Amino acid sequence: MNRLFLFLGTNLAVVLVLSVVLQLLGLNRTGTNTLPWLFMTALIGMGGSFISLLLSKSMALRSTGAQLIANPASPTERWLVDTVARQAKQAGIGMPDVAIFDSPTPNAFATGSDRNHALVAVSTGLLQQMTQDEAEAVLGHEVAHVANGDMVTLTLIQGVVNTFVMVFANLIASFLDRDNRDGQRGMGYFLGYMLAQSVLGVLASIVVCWFSRQREFRADTGGASLAGRMKMIAALERLRRGQTAPLPAEMAAFGISGNMLGGLAHLFATHPPLSERIEALQQAR
């Protein structure tokens, strides 16, 4: 609830500040009230993110081909469901749906609209190549994502970023088209808007990815709390030694390893390097 109030307060402040900026720059040439437009922009910016959040479970199942475990058909599936149930109870969240998706490499992800309606899925490669202790730690990491509210948090961040991109793209485009005296938006506005939105969108993704990387450290800590610190370190070591196939783009931020890039491309990585995550756990008290 506090996160919701913070989010609403932040967006209200953004709307008010941008309204003042529009007036000071004289971009409101028609004399109309810009507040409705700003609120509509915020609604659009947030709307896309929340629609994606609400559809995240069904999208994840379709994009990965994951199969829900309704009735465990093997000892492995029974262990998987029981482990998630135990960890969910420890974390104080509702029992997530549990699924398995076909992939030869070890990976896992969590998604869902809230803490009590989540999905935790693991790959067949993870179950085949990891020890039970390592797999337990991975499950703890994913349950921690759910307990920390990471899906909702990143959705809020993405929504705020979307709003900023749309508003500032409009400001830049309006400035480029300021010599248009007939009150109609010209070609300069539309070209400027598309260019500004593309550039600002890239810069905004850096912000979202930074937040995603910080949430990974928290999920590792949560996984260590639920399964044991040495088990979590062993699981990350296993991932570092092996190759992890990338998840679909919309799931990457909530996977166990995600996309880890080098150089300047690291700015667009959803996960920190595994070596940094292992070191953080080793130094934890």
Give the Cα separation of 283 and 19 in Å (integer): 47
Across-strand partners of 109? 121, 255
Active site residue 77: no
E strands, the chain, in order: 67-68, 97-101, 108-112, 118-123
What is the CA angle 210-236-154, rounded to 5?
25
| Tokens of residue 210, six digits | 């930074």
Which among 166, 177, 183, 100 has a CA at the least distance from the CA of 138?
100
Residue reference for tokens 């869902």: 112
Catalytic residue among 77, 142, 216, 279: 142
Residues 262 and 280: their CA atoms lie apart, in Å, by 19
**Catalytic residue numbers, as ranges:** 142
